């Protein structure tokens, strides 16, 4: 009886075997995930574009804005103000996007979707350009192939930076060809998923060629024999190489603003910390002082005036602690507060009138300052980022979305400044002064103050000095919220002239990110080989990992140039 029962169970299991195997295989499929074998590349392209936008803003508006002294923080200051990057900066988010982008490219090429393919090449070029700008040598030719080639490709070699730029420029040339047809000649539209250009191939083509200008200019100091003919080829044939020359064609991405994940990063709408993400970002004095010296109205678009003036006055009776209490008054035609200080308050702290900002509409925080929350005689002893004596960002940066809250990838302003600089070098790129003026005009239009251009150009900015410094400084101003690009220009040219603050981890501004810790652990041989090619400098000992992986060691593109310091 027992043996017959065992036999029956075994037979039943044999009969169920194929069914169980099939059932288990179906259970192993994620019903909510995308199967690469049958995924529409358009759906993945949407993720590529939006994730790129968010990551660009997180760099250019956050920590690199601190490096390039657009802004400073008076709370959570380490990575923003002081370059305290902990010995590791992760490139994982960018390679995650690139893997998805590779899927778009491969699926599009197999299906003959030339519009998708061209856009994916533009995105590949821009993202790899970002990676090599940030780190130096990076995995390129062997990257993004792990799924196809197995575990053996989990440790890709880092390509020389020169080879990465060469590959980028080749991809952009190919993209220019793929994107050259009228929109109605492409078999698969991308209007619904394209959050940059709503499926317009002509605008994507302009973006491709404008990015090519960017990367040729990257090589201008190191390989002028490559950069010059590359730029001149593009300028000489506008029909074959159209460019972004109007702010209406700027490559940007707006934010939806329906959740924290799709909103401007400093928004207070979804901030669980009562708006501290917005509060702790303040304008940097380096940037404020430059804008004030030029009478630049963009300062009012980007920043708030100080809420409370400081004035030293010994004619009024002292208030509590010899500090006169703030009182409402009319300042420069506006109702604001004035806080009067008696001179003995300053002398008791070893300060003079020159040490505080008196009677200023806009006051920035100096870079990498010790105790930024109490700068300029602030009484913010609780370090709550409520200093009323420095300029906060404009209120628009508290919002989740808005017409000016965009990720900005490449603009007409940048293109005109590139061409101005190229012309200044004597290259056939047009007239340097004309492009300089067009660059400023494009920035004013992009920020909604085109009507104020005439008055601005009647001031010091309107006198073209014919120097690289003036062009690059205006480019730095126009790069507000895209400090990533300003950092690349600084490394190449040394402009604007920046000084590291007293609390910075190194005595000068760094020129690269650390190779990430995980990659050093998992791919140590290749990463250390790449790090060993960095130019060790006087400042390479600063940082967490020694000279072979220092933010103050120079990658190939600036090695031997004497720039930026």
The two three-digit tokens of residue 384, written as one number: 């709550």
Rounded CA separation 259/271 (Å): 10
* CA 176 distance to own-chain centroid: 24
Q: Which residue has the tokens 């192939």?
A: 145
pTM of this structure: 0.91
Q: Which residue has the tokens 């090449």?
A: 121
| Ramachandran angles phi, psi of 282, nearest 5° | -125, 160
- Counting beta carbons within 10 angstroms of the beta carbon of residue 88, is it exposed (0 to 12), middle (13 to 18) or buried (19 or more)? middle
The two three-digit tokens of residue 386, written as one number: 């409520």
How far lies 135's CA from each of 48, 402, 446, in Å?
Answer: 21, 32, 30
pLDDT at residue number 347: 86
pLDDT at residue number 394: 98
What residue segments make up the domains of the chain, in order of their start? Answer: 41-244, 282-398
- CA-wise closest residue to 54 among 250, 247, 260: 260
The two three-digit tokens of residue 476, written as one number: 């730095």
Please spell the DSSP secondary structure of 501-533, one letter per residue. Answer: -TTSSSSS---SPPPPHHHHHHSHHHHHHHHTT
Q: Where is 407: in which H helix or E strand?
A: strand 406-410
Q: Which residues of 504-528 are buried (b: 16+ CB within 10 A; e: fewer)?
A: bbbebbbbbbbbbeebbeebeebbe
Rounded CA separation 555/565 (Å): 14
* CA 318 distance to own-chain centroid: 47
Rounded CA separation 210/204 (Å): 10
Q: Rounded to a whole number, what is the distance in angstroms from the first to the last CA of the chain? A: 91
Q: Where is 406: in which H helix or E strand?
A: strand 406-410
Are 53 and 195 in contact by the 8 Å Cβ rule? The answer is: yes
Q: Which residue has the tokens 């690349």?
A: 488
3-state secondary structure of 252: strand
pLDDT at residue number 36: 62
Are 97 and 45 in contact by the 8 Å Cβ rule? The answer is: no
pLDDT at residue number 6: 44
β-pair type (334-341, 158-159)? unpaired
Are 475 and 484 in contact by the 8 Å Cβ rule? The answer is: no
3-state secondary structure of 138: strand
pLDDT at residue number 316: 63
Are 121 and 175 in contact by the 8 Å Cβ rule? The answer is: yes
* CA 118 distance to own-chain centroid: 23
pLDDT at residue number 2: 42
pLDDT at residue number 343: 84
Q: What is the DSSP letter of 284?
A: B
* CA 254 distance to own-chain centroid: 15
Are 98 and 525 in contact by the 8 Å Cβ rule? The answer is: no
126 sits in the region (left: phi over 0; alpha: psi -120 to 50; else beta) called alpha
Note the CATH architecture for domain 41-244: Alpha Horseshoe (1.25)
Q: What is the DSSP letter of 392?
A: B
Are 534 and 554 in contact by the 8 Å Cβ rule? The answer is: yes
Pure H helices in 154-274: 161-178, 201-218, 224-236
Are 267 and 258 in contact by the 8 Å Cβ rule? The answer is: no
Rounded CA separation 453/432 (Å): 19
3-state secondary structure of 231: helix
pLDDT at residue number 111: 95
Are 18 and 165 in contact by the 8 Å Cβ rule? The answer is: no
Rounded CA separation 437/463 (Å): 10
The two three-digit tokens of residue 375, written as one number: 């700068």
Per-residue pLDDT of the chain (565 residues; tens, 9 = 90+): 444 444 444 444 444 444 444 443 444 454 444 566 667 888 899 999 999 999 999 999 999 999 999 999 999 999 999 999 999 999 999 999 999 999 999 999 999 999 999 999 999 999 999 999 999 999 999 998 765 555 547 899 999 999 999 999 999 999 999 999 999 999 999 999 999 999 999 999 999 999 999 999 999 999 999 999 999 999 999 999 999 999 999 999 999 999 999 999 999 999 988 899 999 999 999 999 999 999 999 999 999 999 998 888 877 655 545 566 777 888 878 888 888 888 888 888 888 888 888 878 999 999 999 999 999 988 887 888 999 999 999 999 999 999 999 999 999 999 999 999 999 999 999 999 999 999 999 999 999 999 999 999 999 999 999 999 999 999 999 999 999 999 999 999 999 999 999 999 999 999 999 999 999 999 999 999 999 999 999 999 998 989 999 999 999 999 999 999 9
Rounded CA separation 122/444 (Å): 27
How far lies 370's CA from each of 69, 374, 505, in Å?
Answer: 16, 9, 12
| Ramachandran angles phi, psi of 71, nearest 5° | -135, 165
Rounded CA separation 176/170 (Å): 10
The two three-digit tokens of residue 77, written as one number: 């200051």
């Amino acid at each position: 009886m027992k043996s017959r029962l065992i036999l029956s169970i075994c037979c039943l299991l044999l009969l169920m075997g194929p069914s169980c195997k099939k059932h288990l295989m179906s259970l192993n499929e994620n019903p909510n995930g995308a199967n690469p074998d049958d995924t529409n590349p358009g759906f993945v392209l949407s993720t590529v574009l939006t994730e790129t936008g968010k990551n660009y803003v997180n760099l250019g508006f956050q920590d690199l804005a601190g490096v390039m002294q657009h802004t400073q923080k008076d709370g959570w200051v380490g990575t923003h103000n002081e370059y305290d990057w902990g010995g590791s900066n992760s490139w994982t988010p960018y390679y995650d996007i690139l893997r998805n982008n590779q899927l778009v490219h491969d699926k599009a090429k197999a299906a003959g979707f030339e519009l998708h393919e061209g856009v994916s090449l533009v995105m590949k070029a821009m993202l790899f350009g970002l990676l090599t700008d940030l780190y130096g040598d990076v995995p390129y030719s062997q990257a993004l192939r792990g799924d196809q080639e197995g575990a053996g490709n989990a440790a890709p070699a880092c390509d020389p930076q020169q080879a990465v730029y060469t590959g980028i420029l080749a991809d952009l040339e190919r993209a220019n060809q793929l994107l050259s047809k009228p929109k109605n000649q492409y078999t698969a539209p991308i209007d619904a998923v394209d959050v940059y250009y709503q499926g317009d191939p002509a605008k994507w083509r302009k973006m491709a060629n404008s990015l090519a200008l960017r990367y040729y200019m990257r090589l201008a100091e190191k390989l002028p024999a490559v950069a010059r003919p590359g730029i001149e080829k593009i300028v000489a044939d506008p029909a074959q190489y159209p460019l972004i020359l109007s702010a209406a064609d700027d490559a940007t991405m707006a934010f939806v603003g329906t959740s924290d994940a799709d909103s401007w990063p400093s928004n207070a709408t979804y901030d669980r910390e009562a708006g501290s993400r917005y509060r702790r970002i303040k304008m940097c004095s380096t940037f404020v002082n430059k804008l004030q010296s030029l009478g630049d109205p963009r300062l009012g678009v980007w920043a708030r005036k100080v809420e409370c003036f400081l004035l030293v006055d010994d004619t009024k009776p002292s208030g509590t602690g010899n500090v006169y209490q703030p009182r409402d008054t009319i300042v420069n035609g506006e109702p604001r507060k004035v806080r009067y200080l008696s001179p003995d308050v300053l002398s008791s702290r070893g300060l003079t009138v020159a040490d505080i900002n008196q009677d200023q509409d806009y006051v920035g925080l100096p870079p990498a300052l010790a105790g930024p929350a109490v700068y300029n005689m602030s009484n913010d002893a609780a370090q709550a980022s409520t200093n009323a004596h420095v300029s906060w960002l404009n209120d628009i940066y508290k919002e989740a979305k808005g017409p000016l809250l965009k990720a900005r990838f490449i603009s007409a302003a940048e293109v005109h400044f590139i061409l101005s600089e190229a012309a200044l070098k004597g290259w056939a790129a047009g007239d340097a002064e004309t492009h300089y003026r067009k660059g400023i005009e494009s920035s004013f239009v992009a920020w909604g103050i085109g009507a104020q251009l005439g008055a601005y150009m009647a001031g010091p900015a309107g006198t073209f000095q014919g120097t690289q410094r003036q062009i690059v400084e205006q480019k730095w101003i126009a790069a507000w919220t895209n400090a990533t690009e300003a950092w690349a220009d600084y490394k190449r040219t040394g402009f604007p002239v920046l000084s590291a603050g007293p609390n910075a981890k190194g005595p000068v501004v760094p020129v690269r990110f650390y190779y990430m810790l995980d990659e050093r652990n998992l791919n140590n041989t290749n990463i250390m080989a790449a790090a060993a090619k960095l130019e060790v400098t006087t400042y390479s000992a600063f940082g967490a990992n020694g000279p072979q992986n220092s933010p103050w060691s120079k990658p190939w593109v600036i090695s031997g140039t004497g720039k930026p310091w």
